[in-house]
Structure 1
Amino acid sequence: MSDRTTHWDHVYATKGEAEVSWFQDSPAISLDMIRAANPDHRAAIIDIGGGASRLVDALLQDGYRDIAVLDLSANALDAAKKRLGRAASTIDWIVADATAWQPAKTYDVWHDRAAFHFLTDPGDRAAYVDRLRSAVAPGGHIIIATFAPDGPEKCSGLPVQRHDSASLAAELGPEFELVETRSETHHTPWHSTQAFQFSRFRRSR
């Protein structure tokens, strides 16, 4: 078990769903950008670092049916499964590190809210992008949300690498074209604020 896995399993074993700073009752921007990327409800969507996020609930309610959620922490995914109940059986739950995972299929939409910014090592970021290239075919969309340049420098006790759309584009490479970017002021459960940016790219080749 990696240090990252141990860390996040501990977080989700000791804190409730709404006791973490990244909790969102309604993942509105993520859902809007996924709809814009591919409104076809047959689209294959993967949520990287999805944990116990409620995005999977929102996607099911919106009519999407080919959904995967990947996270380092089995505890996080178990929390989401428990919340969904019977509907959890329709989701592909993947316990894996996105920097080492071997995708078994390709996806139309790759979504990541607040996983990529924990990759402070350039080698980990390169490994992540290698997996992304294997998992998203030309024409597919990538949505990555991170702390913005004026956002926090740490989260859950860990350092983060803050980004804007330009630094993300440099990490992904020229075959990924920036389609849109949005700013968000995220309100944590204890009423502090965090600056996020969301960037959507389309793979051109």
Structure 2
Amino acid sequence: MSDRASHWKNVYTTKAENQVSWFQENPAISLRLLRDAKATPDSRVIDIGGGASRLVDALLEQGFRALSVLDISAAALDTAKKRLGTASADVDWIVADITAWTPTRTYDVWHDRAAFHFLTLPVDRDAYLDRLRAATAPGSQVIIGTFALDGPEKCSGLPVQRHDSKSLTVLLGPAFELVASDDEAHHTPWDAVQHFQFSRFRRA
């Protein structure tokens, strides 16, 4: 098991779902951005680094039928499966390191809240972007949420690479058009404030 996988296994086996800083009872900004991306119940949506996020719950409630959740931690995905019960059978759960994953299909919407900013090495960011390109097609929408430039420098004991829409636009390259960007002041379970940015792109 890689150091990265070991770290996240430890996080999700030693802390309750609502004891991590990124916990959201209601992923409102992600849901709004998915609406803005014109996602429908038939859209193929993948949540990168989705872990135990409640986004999948909300999308299932809205009738989405082609959902995938990818995370490096099987323990995180197990938390979500147990919470969803029998509804979890309607989701494609993918245990993988995004930098080493091999996509087997393309998606209409790629959603990532707080996975990309953990990739502090250029080689890992390049590997992520290779998977992004392989898993999207012209017209696909890409939503990436990271710590903003004035956000935390670390999370879960790990360094992060903070971004804004400009830095992400440069990294994704000309094949992806920036459509919209949003700021979010995320309140952790202990009411600290973390500044996030969300950027939405369309693949040309």
TM beyond 0.5: yes
Residue 181 in 1 paired to residue 181 in 2? yes
- Residue 38 of structure 1 and its aligned partner are, at CA, apart by 2.6
- Residue 61 of structure 1 and its aligned partner are, at CA, apart by 1.1
Secondary structure at the counterpart of residue 41 of structure 1 = coil
- Residue 62 of structure 1 and its aligned partner are, at CA, apart by 1.5
1:27 corresponds in structure 2 to: 27
1:61 corresponds in structure 2 to: 61
State the number of aligned residues. Answer: 204
2:99 corresponds in structure 1 to: 99
1:48 corresponds in structure 2 to: 48
RMSD of aligned alpha carbons: 0.5
Task: Measure the CA separation in 2 of the matches of 1:193 and 1:127.
Answer: 31
| Amino acid corresponding to residue 25 of structure 1 in structure 2 | E
- Residue 40 of structure 1 and its aligned partner are, at CA, apart by 2.2
TM-score (norm 2): 0.99
1:12 corresponds in structure 2 to: 12
CA-to-aligned-CA distance 1:108-153 (integer Å, 9 cap, x gap): 0000000000000001000000000000111000000000000000
Secondary structure at the counterpart of residue 47 of structure 2 = strand
Task: Measure the CA separation in 1 of the matches of 2:175 and 2:78.
Answer: 35
- Residue 196 of structure 1 and its aligned partner are, at CA, apart by 0.2
| Identity value in percent | 68
Secondary structure at the counterpart of residue 69 of structure 1 = strand
- Residue 39 of structure 1 and its aligned partner are, at CA, apart by 3.1
Secondary structure at the counterpart of residue 131 of structure 2 = helix
Counterpart contact for 1:38–1:108, Cα < 8 Å:
no
CA-to-aligned-CA distance 1:16-74 (integer Å, 9 cap, x gap): 00000000000001011111113321000000000000000011111211000000000
Task: Measure the CA separation in 2 of the matches of 1:64 and 1:57.
Answer: 10
1:126 corresponds in structure 2 to: 126
Structure 1 portions without partners, runs of 5+: none
Structure 2 portions without partners, runs of 5+: none
1:171 corresponds in structure 2 to: 171
Task: Measure the CA separation in 2 of the matches of 1:111 and 1:200.
Answer: 9
Residue 37 in 1 paired to residue 37 in 2? yes
Counterpart contact for 2:39–2:109, Cα < 8 Å:
no
Counterpart contact for 1:38–1:109, Cα < 8 Å:
no
| Amino acid corresponding to residue 197 of structure 1 in structure 2 | Q
| Amino acid corresponding to residue 106 of structure 2 in structure 1 | T
| Amino acid corresponding to residue 200 of structure 1 in structure 2 | R
1:137 corresponds in structure 2 to: 137
Task: Measure the CA separation in 2 of the matches of 1:156 and 1:102.
Answer: 27
| Amino acid corresponding to residue 140 of structure 1 in structure 2 | S
TM-score (norm 1): 0.99
Task: Measure the CA separation in 1 of the matches of 2:83 and 2:189.
Answer: 19
| Amino acid corresponding to residue 202 of structure 1 in structure 2 | R
